[in-house]
Amino acid sequence: MSDPESRPIGFEMMEQGMAVSPQPPPPPEEIIYPPVGQNMDTSPLVSGNTQPIGFEDQVNPAHRDEVPSQRAKGHVSFSGISSGDEGNTNGQPKTKIAKDGTESDEYVPAVETLYFRDGVRRIDFVLAYNDTDADKKVNRRTMFENNLKKEGVELEYEERHKDKLKFVKIHCPWEVLISYAEVMSMKMPLAMNDLEDETTNCWSKCPTPFDLDEEYLPPVPDYFTAAFSRNRLDKFIVENKETFFSSAQRGLIAYQVLSRCTYEEASDKRKRKFGIKNLINSGVYQAAYPLHEGEYLSSHSLLTRGKSNDRHLLYETWAKPSRWYKYQPLDHIRTYFGEKIGIYFAWLGYYTALLLPAALIGLAVFIYGCVRLFDDTVGKEICDENGVGNFTMCPLCDVRCTYWKLKKSCTYSRATYIFDNEATVFFAGFMALWATFFHEMWKRKQAEIEYDWDVADFEQEENIRPEYEAQVSTTKKNPINQIEEPHVRFAQRICRFASSFITVVFMLCLVVAAAFGVIVYRVTVAAIFYSVDQEEISARANLITTITAAIINLIIIVILSWVYLQIATFLTNFEMPRTETEWEDSFTFKMFLFQFINHYSSIFYIAFFKGRFIGRPGAYNRQINFTRQEECDPAGCLIELCIQLGIVMVGKQSFNNFKEIILPKVMNWFKSRNVRKEEKQTLPRWEDDYNLAQMNKLGLFDEYLEMVIQFGFVTIFVSAFPLAPLFALLNNVIEVRLDAYKFVTQWRRPLAVRGQDIGIWFGILRGISTIAVMSNACIIGFTTEFIPKLVYVYGYSSNQTLTGYVDFSLSTFNVSQFEPESLPANNKSDVFGVVTNCRYRDFRSSELNKYNLQFWHVLTARLAFVIAFILLVFFLSWLIAYMVPDIPKGVKLQVLREKYLAKEAIMESESVRRRKERANSQPDEGSVNY
């Protein structure tokens, strides 16, 4: 269909639903050279026994991976095809051809890339294994391949001599393809889409530098489709059986056959072992993958000769770094990689595009803070050595810390103003509404994608997981189709979920304990740095502690993420989800719940807890580690929150980019380091792809998780770090092309699995947006100085300015009331003289050290602001959601039109059947009835 975009997390190597919807079958390409194994003199395309002049010993580069070429040296087949060529080790006649095209005594084996050696049957899947395996593995492999042949699948074998690595090429004949396509309810083309696109307007017709170049990237034709049925084959557009199913669809069908084929029989059906995934996990096979459609690089450009293959087209128009500013060819991505991957890139592109206004406004807020930096009255007072800056402050830790002057906080207070100013409040409200607008607009875009890519009903039609069928022994009649299906009893399901829930809670407690350990580290290290005699270190004790604690927290995040991944996978399998979508949703929820606490716990601590429960001089809270809790700077904790956000957000994204692009490159180089450059150019497609890195077993889960965690940084704490949308935008512009480059050049071709939407991730994003509204309201109300400044200006200032605010926000303490363990070991009387009173950050009376009236005024104003902010944003969010329809009008019309055509096709087919029955039931002329 037209225009582009996937559903939940992807676990592409797991058994899944259907592949991409088909493109219209192209006309057969002209064959320049005769098929391998056919003598030149018998080819109808070549007269005589010579090749075209100038190509005596060459193969057309444009057809290197589309038609049979010449076998590279060292790659010799060791078995025939499944139909049986035991007497011929090559599975084909030995054609002797010299470089001039004439027959020769020297045998040159034929090479194959995308086809069997006969040049006709396409390779739909490839299995690789080591020939030195033990007998048990050999037996399993033999039974597995024999059962594949019984399913109608055809096999052909190849060998790489240098390490005894062998390849099994798999081809699915037409009967296998149509039978599985019907079982999988693949949507196939029924008729051309004859509805006009109502979304076209004058603005969309204006050319921009971001548009794709249509001269070498034509739009994918738009079809009305219907679920495939062999009984109505004549109603579908079948111009050529070889091209009716795309290579992506053929690969997915082949994987379905591999996923259900048994390799170890047993009398009890539940104990039978089956599936290529289990064989790979047990080492029977080293790899299983569909083939890329050729090299992604070509000696000629797209403008001169066009694409060499679809992979080359995607690289030149999408994955090439120089194309970073272009729109994504989403329809072509979907055609080559499948709907699930296509929807991921559609969502990522849509999210990145909507980050642009947020990034620009966030940058404007940051610039505003920088411009007004030296006009800030509070900053001027703190930096005034002869005024407020000369206030003597109470020690920040027990014994080791001494008194200090407020002017030491000058740099800290100026940096805080950059993020803590009037514009921050506006930006926080804007981002809350932006999140709602993003969700509503994505729902509309997703509705278009679901229809255009024929996945609107995918989750209703999804097949049962093979693992579920193997594990479940009880059955129950499906009330919809009245067929007995595997079913887990309610009591058994409850027990499994309860066990899983207890384990998840335990792991979450472990994460909280790790975050608590970081808090203890902050308290201990801060006290050590404050006690250092060197002014340069003690003055920056809080900054050093914050940076080192953030780095340690980042390391803990990475380690615990790996540990919990293994646990979450085990627990999800233990719950026995029925379909792949249920498996993905359950796994995603567990992992995100863990990652949410893992990433955000330390940030929530700084934003809402640090400095809130420390007590006061003379009565400090020592319940944690029997020491004083750490305090915020007199300028507040906001700058520490900003530093923590910056390190965790940027550091995690940098680590992910390294893991996604640098690591696969290193692994690919390691695999092919012993292959000479000349050999690489002649490697067959299956071996070249084998040397590529394998896609993560969890598929797109890591990609989605990375972006959703980033979305949390952008929305939940944006009031503390207005530059977060800008950093996210820059990262995502790079991320889109890095992911594209990785999929096209560094990874084996993943399965083109189907997906309806982004799945449970959408609900998670909505939940994050709700948390973000409350979080930003509380950060502005309780963490920043915005509300206390408003109370002072309109309630206590004589001239309604901030002059005198610092003195207003600091309380006075008589040092004679210090606890013995709080007295500084060194009073530094030579610097401070005889200290009788010191100041600290709070609203208390100097006589009784109790909260004064100012505290209650400020607290009331904080609570009022939080409630008003939340209610206003929620109301405006509801209004946006109400005004924006979920499904565009054009999509509704197309859905109705497609249902009408499908209904007409069924009625016509039924009418033809009835006419045939009536014709057969009538007696022949001349017959006599007695």
pLDDT in tens, 499-541: 888 888 888 888 788 877 887 787 778 777 766 766 667 667 7
> 349 to each of 209, 321, 330, how far by Cα in Å?
17, 16, 10
Q: What is the pLDDT of residue 354?
A: 92
- In our burial notation (b when 16+ CB lie closer than 10 A, e otherwise), range 460-494 reads ebbbebbbbbbebeeeeeeeeeeeeebbbeeeeee
Those residues whose C-beta lies under 8 Å from the C-beta of residue 715, and which sit 6 or more positions away, are 431, 432, 435, 768, 769, 772, 776
Neighbour count for residue 857 (Cβ, 10 Å) = 16
**Four-residue CA torsion sign, 682, 684, 690, 695:** positive
Q: What is the pLDDT of residue 357?
A: 93
Q: What is the pLDDT of residue 749?
A: 92
pLDDT at 783 > cutoff 50:
yes
pLDDT at 639 > cutoff 60:
yes
- Dist CA 388 CA 407 (whole Å): 8
Q: What is the pLDDT of residue 539?
A: 64
* Nearest alpha carbon to residue 735 among 769, 702, 690, 782: 702
- Dist CA 194 CA 894 (whole Å): 9
pLDDT in tens, 709-724: 889 888 888 887 888 8
Those residues whose C-beta lies under 8 Å from the C-beta of residue 534, and which sit 6 or more positions away, are none
Map residue 448 onto helix, strand or coil.
helix
* Edge-to-edge strand list for the sheet holding 837-841: 404-405, 392-393, 837-841, 810-814
How many C-alpha atoms does 751 have within 13 Å on its Cβ side?
Answer: 29
Burial, 273: exposed, middle or buried (Cβ in 10 Å; 0-12, 13-18, 19+)?
middle
How many C-alpha atoms does 792 have within 13 Å on its Cβ side?
Answer: 17
- Dist CA 693 CA 747 (whole Å): 5
Q: What is the pLDDT of residue 780?
A: 85
* Nearest alpha carbon to residue 748 among 676, 678, 677, 699: 699
> 38 to each of 97, 488, 684, 733, how far by Cα in Å?
11, 57, 20, 50
Q: What is the pLDDT of residue 68?
A: 38
pLDDT (mean) for 398-403: 80
Q: Which of 768-772, 861-865, 909-913 ranks highest by mean pLDDT?
A: 861-865
SS3 of 481-497: CCCEEECCCHHHHHHHH
Q: What is the pLDDT of residue 1?
A: 41
Q: Which of 107 and 359 is assigned the larger pLDDT?
A: 359
> 569 to each of 94, 206, 557, 559, 590, how far by Cα in Å?
51, 49, 18, 16, 9
pLDDT band at residue 92 under the 50/70/90 scheme:
very low
* Edge-to-edge strand list for the sheet holding 125-130: 154-160, 165-171, 125-130, 287-289
List the beta bridge partners of residue 160: 75, 165
Q: What is the pLDDT of residue 268?
A: 55
Sequence-ordered alpha helix ranges (H) in 106-201: 135-150, 174-183
Strand stretches in 545-661, DSSP E: 615-616, 619-620
pLDDT band at residue 781 under the 50/70/90 scheme:
confident
Q: What is the pLDDT of residue 272?
A: 67
8, 584 in Cβ contact below 8 A?
A: yes
Q: What is the pLDDT of residue 64?
A: 39
pLDDT in tens, 877-917: 888 888 877 777 777 777 777 677 667 767 776 777 777 77
Q: Lowest mean pLDDT: which of 9-13, 449-453, 599-603, 751-755?
A: 9-13
405, 735 in Cβ contact below 8 A?
A: no
Q: What is the pLDDT of residue 347?
A: 93
Q: Which of 39 and 867 is assigned the larger pLDDT?
A: 867
pLDDT band at residue 462 under the 50/70/90 scheme:
low
E strand or H helix that includes residue 187 = strand 187-192
499, 574 in Cβ contact below 8 A?
A: yes
E strand or H helix that includes residue 205 = helix 202-205
Mean residue pLDDT across the chain: 76
pLDDT (mean) for 143-160: 89
E strand or H helix that includes residue 501 = helix 490-530
263, 284 in Cβ contact below 8 A?
A: yes
pLDDT in tens, 45-77: 333 333 333 333 433 433 434 433 333 333 434
Q: Lowest mean pLDDT: which of 368-377, 493-502, 544-553, 648-657?
A: 648-657
Q: Lowest mean pLDDT: which of 148-157, 314-323, 411-420?
A: 411-420
Alpha carbon 236 to its chain centroid, in Å, reads 35
pTM of the model: 0.74
> 6 to each of 94, 330, 335, 432, 729, how far by Cα in Å?
48, 11, 13, 25, 21
Q: What is the CA radius of gyration of the chain?
A: 34
- What is the DSSP code (8-state) at residue 672? T
pLDDT band at residue 20 under the 50/70/90 scheme:
very low
pLDDT at 563 > cutoff 90:
no
Those residues whose C-beta lies under 8 Å from the C-beta of residue 878, and which sit 6 or more positions away, are none
Alpha carbon 197 to its chain centroid, in Å, reads 31
- Dist CA 226 CA 127 (whole Å): 32
318, 328 in Cβ contact below 8 A?
A: yes
One-character DSSP codes across 596-613: HHHHHHHHHIIIIITTTS
E strand or H helix that includes residue 707 = helix 701-716
Q: What is the pLDDT of residue 735?
A: 86
- Dist CA 753 CA 652 (whole Å): 29
- Dist CA 815 CA 714 (whole Å): 44
pLDDT at 88 > cutoff 60:
no
Q: Lowest mean pLDDT: which of 65-69, 190-194, 756-760, 801-805?
A: 65-69
pLDDT in tens, 823-847: 887 778 777 888 888 998 888 887 7
CA 272-273-274 angle, 5° bins:
120
